[in-house]
Structure 1
Amino acid sequence: MTVEGPDSPLAFLRARSGIILLVGLASGVGLLVWALIAPSGAVGAGWAIGLVFWLSIALGSMGLLAIHAVTGGRLRAVLWPAVAPAAASLPAFGLLMLPLLAAVPLIYPWYMDPSRAGHPDVVSLYLNLPGFAARSALAIIGWSVIALVLLGRRPHPLFGIFGLLFYLVMITIIGVDWVLSVEPRFRSSDYGGLLFVTQLLAALAWTATLRTAPPGRAGAAGDLGAMMLAAALGAAYLGFVQYLVIWYGDLPSKAEWFILRWSPGWVWLEGVSLALSVFLPFGALLARQIRQSPAALMHIGACVLAGILAHYIWFIAPPHGFAALPAAALGVLAVGGLWMGLAYGPIAARLVPVSHAEETAHGG
């Protein structure tokens, strides 16, 4: 069994889950207070950013469990303490997304002005509140069921393949609904793939940050570092391809999207994102000594998570102005506190630990 040290971040989460939950509640109240000062759309965007960020870790964790069901390997015992509670918490996002549904008229311009979508049929047939809510519910329910099966002792490899396919299809749909439809005229054919890889990277970085790899198992830490490096490069490649296709297309709606985000202030946010989530892991994790150090991976993982968060803010916040930045901070604390308090408190307590013998049985 992977046993975390008493001073590890994972042990802290488990021991302080109740306090973390209260921090989440207090931050939610703070977000409501900010709504009295800031534009309501900015406040809604703040909750959306927090929801998308923490859901990325939970979904990426489910994806890692699905990949392990297909491939086997020795990483299960190292991943389990971090990813199992995260994946098991997916049903909680059914409640956490309710404020997002309530804030749809404030966040997404297609609700109040269908012409913003570029074509009336897009709103009447797809971008409407009932469809938005139904697709969101289907995704959360489907992901929750898949996670429940994958958390079993020996999930079948074919189910792992099915889980990955469902995950990719639904995250493509939810990515359009929750993220891209902030500016509904913008289209990106590979955003679902980019979101998929980014979420796997987020789950790996989360595992590294919680320091679940014991100091005595350099091989397991090295494997985790190598997977982080591969996911970071994959996300960077897909992001570059997206930009290249849009640049060659030179369409006004897509140019407008980038002009806003490359304006002063916002462009630096994406620069920070690239530095933390791409260049840092690429430069550091090539070194074997760093890749095999759980302490180094913990710090790199935290930086990668900060970079991913900056990227989500860069995608969602600009249409709502800089007032969305404090709202994003409060939204991340609110959703994160509620999620971590539940996932690593009562949910983690109900999960069966994975022993090294079981890891070997899974192909390690």
Structure 2
Amino acid sequence: MTATRWMTWIGGATMLGALVLAVCVFLMGGQPVLRAWFVAVLTLGAVPVGCLALLITNHLLRRDVFLARVLEAGCYGLWPLAVAFLPIALFPGAIYPWTAPEFRPTGALQEVWLDSTWFGLRAVLYFAVWLGCAMLLIREDRVVAPGDRRTGTAVAAAMLYAATISFAGLDWCMTLNPEFASSGYGWMMAAHQVAAALGFAVFADDLLTDDPEPPAVVRGLMIGGVLIWAFFAYMEWMVIWSGNVPAMASWYLDRDGGVWPSLRWVVALLMAAGVAGALLVPLWPRTRLVRLAALCILVGQLLEGVWNLLPAFGPATLAQVALFLLSMLTVGGALAVVFLKALATRPPEADQEDAVGAAVGPA
């Protein structure tokens, strides 16, 4: 099936999903639909934001180290992600407990920070920074050979990304429980996004290329991405447990019942399978083992996003799960269409040097 036909089918499924969600808003009210939409947007949004972090890394190293074509196409997903976030920015009262009239801030900072208007304006700032950085780096790819790049743009992008992703993690996820406070939560979210983007990029690249064995640097990045995520996830729990702070422990207590402990074990097993697969690729170089390893990492990190977000809204009901899956279909379809379209307009790495040469002109 051609890319155009794929986009047509996926686009049709996306529009159908959006229509069904609109009907659900009419029948069930806005709050349950918006909560499911919120979880889907932040779960799938880990991929394009993580692609931006990896693209910045490529440019800091001043050469196309890995997966440049896929990462650039993945960054274009920031556009539909920004549009999908609009309902969340406009109606935070359906999601966050700090918007309730009975909420009482515990300090002056909370009183200023936890404000619906400022919440929306900060979201606009985050997406403006991410989109601006992504488009500047992609434009540089089109006109500058990898070895001739200056690192100034990438350094500025890295600094802006580091600041905004930390605050976005606090804004969007940590304030689901206003009693919970952690200075490292934003970095844990960033590690989660990078691991998800690595799984996605390696899986997509393996589907697009004929080389069954990726470069060693790609397998090393897969393993490193999982280990960094595991470090932040474990240390977050360890610091709270060793500090014995009941208010901070409430974040984990909300995820201690129902299906959530089992889901956490599934995530851990998938991450372990991804690392094992990446390590074993040289032993079975013709088996496409890397594709399975990348898929394990991607699925594991998507489930990690669900584990982080969905328990904040109480025990999972059948209706809530159905709305979430429908939202995942709609948001994921929009991201997939943009990704395929961007991929079709970006020449493969083998043709990229000719494209850059044509843009720059004769030496």
Q: TM-score, normalised by structure 1?
A: 0.85
2:20 corresponds, among 13, 30, 37, to 30
2:157 pairs with 1:163: yes
The separation in 1 between residues aligned to 2:27 and 2:283, in whole angstroms, is 46
1:112 corresponds, among 100, 122, 127, to 100
Structure 1 residues 169 and 225, CA gap change in structure 2 (3 angstroms): same
Residue aligning to 1:89: 77
The separation in 2 between residues aligned to 1:39 and 1:254, in whole angstroms, is 32
Cα displacement (A) at 1:98? 1.0
Cα displacement (A) at 1:240? 0.5
Asked whether the equivalents of residues 199 and 297 of structure 2 are also in contact (C-alpha less than 8 Å), the reply is yes
2:303 corresponds, among 297, 310, 319, to 310
**Partner secondary structure for residue 186 of structure 1:** coil
1:133 corresponds, among 89, 114, 120, to 120
Gaps of 5+ in 2: 357-363
Give deviations 1:291-327, integer Å, cap 9, x for gaps: 8567222222222222111111111111323133322
The separation in 1 between residues aligned to 2:349 and 2:258, in whole angstroms, is 49
The separation in 2 between residues aligned to 1:294 and 1:52, in whole angstroms, is 33
Residue aligning to 2:48: 58
Residue aligning to 1:142: 129
The separation in 2 between residues aligned to 1:22 and 1:58, in whole angstroms, is 22
2:322 pairs with 1:329: no
Give deviations 1:102-141, integer Å, cap 9, x for gaps: 341111011114626534x345311111111111111111
**Partner secondary structure for residue 349 of structure 2:** coil
Asked whether the equivalents of residues 290 and 296 of structure 1 are also in contact (C-alpha less than 8 Å), the reply is no
Give deviations 1:200-243, integer Å, cap 9, x for gaps: 211111112212563436352x3322211110011001111111
2:251 corresponds, among 250, 257, 269, to 257
Residue aligning to 2:7: 17
Asked whether the equivalents of residues 76 and 338 of structure 2 are also in contact (C-alpha less than 8 Å), the reply is no
**Aligned AA for 1:307?**
G
Asked whether the equivalents of residues 201 and 232 of structure 1 are also in contact (C-alpha less than 8 Å), the reply is yes
The separation in 1 between residues aligned to 2:284 and 2:62, in whole angstroms, is 21
Residues paired across the two proteins, number: 344
The separation in 2 between residues aligned to 1:267 and 1:16, in whole angstroms, is 37
The separation in 2 between residues aligned to 1:185 and 1:353, in whole angstroms, is 49
Structure 1 residues 170 and 262, CA gap change in structure 2 (3 angstroms): same
Residue aligning to 2:173: 179
The separation in 2 between residues aligned to 1:38 and 1:272, in whole angstroms, is 31
Structure 1 residues 82 and 182, CA gap change in structure 2 (3 angstroms): same
Q: Which moved more, 1:285-294 or 1:183-192?
A: 285-294
Asked whether the equivalents of residues 48 and 178 of structure 1 are also in contact (C-alpha less than 8 Å), the reply is no
Residue aligning to 1:198: 192
Residue aligning to 1:296: 289
Asked whether the equivalents of residues 188 and 233 of structure 2 are also in contact (C-alpha less than 8 Å), the reply is yes
**Aligned AA for 1:127?**
L
2:44 pairs with 1:44: no
Structure 1 residues 189 and 124, CA gap change in structure 2 (3 angstroms): closer
Structure 1 residues 329 and 357, CA gap change in structure 2 (3 angstroms): closer
Give deviations 1:180-209, integer Å, cap 9, x for gaps: 111121112212222222212111111122
Q: Which moved more, 1:280-289 or 1:125-134?
A: 280-289
The separation in 1 between residues aligned to 2:304 and 2:15, in whole angstroms, is 25
**Partner secondary structure for residue 298 of structure 1:** helix
The separation in 2 between residues aligned to 1:39 and 1:275, in whole angstroms, is 37
The separation in 1 between residues aligned to 2:94 and 2:74, in whole angstroms, is 29
**Aligned AA for 1:147?**
A
Cα displacement (A) at 1:172? 0.9
Structure 1 residues 150 and 280, CA gap change in structure 2 (3 angstroms): same
1:348 corresponds, among 335, 338, 343, to 343
**Aligned AA for 1:29?**
L
Q: Give the greater-gyration-radius structure (CA).
A: 2
**Aligned AA for 1:337?**
G
Asked whether the equivalents of residues 82 and 127 of structure 2 are also in contact (C-alpha less than 8 Å), the reply is yes
CA RMSD of superposed structures (Å): 2.6
Higher relative contact order (CA 8 A, sep 6+): 1
2:60 pairs with 1:102: no
Asked whether the equivalents of residues 19 and 341 of structure 1 are also in contact (C-alpha less than 8 Å), the reply is no
The separation in 1 between residues aligned to 2:65 and 2:16, in whole angstroms, is 36
**Aligned AA for 2:332?**
G
Percent sequence identity over aligned pairs = 20
Structure 1 residues 41 and 206, CA gap change in structure 2 (3 angstroms): same
Gaps of 5+ in 1: 1-5, 7-11
Cα displacement (A) at 1:38? 5.8
The separation in 1 between residues aligned to 2:283 and 2:114, in whole angstroms, is 46
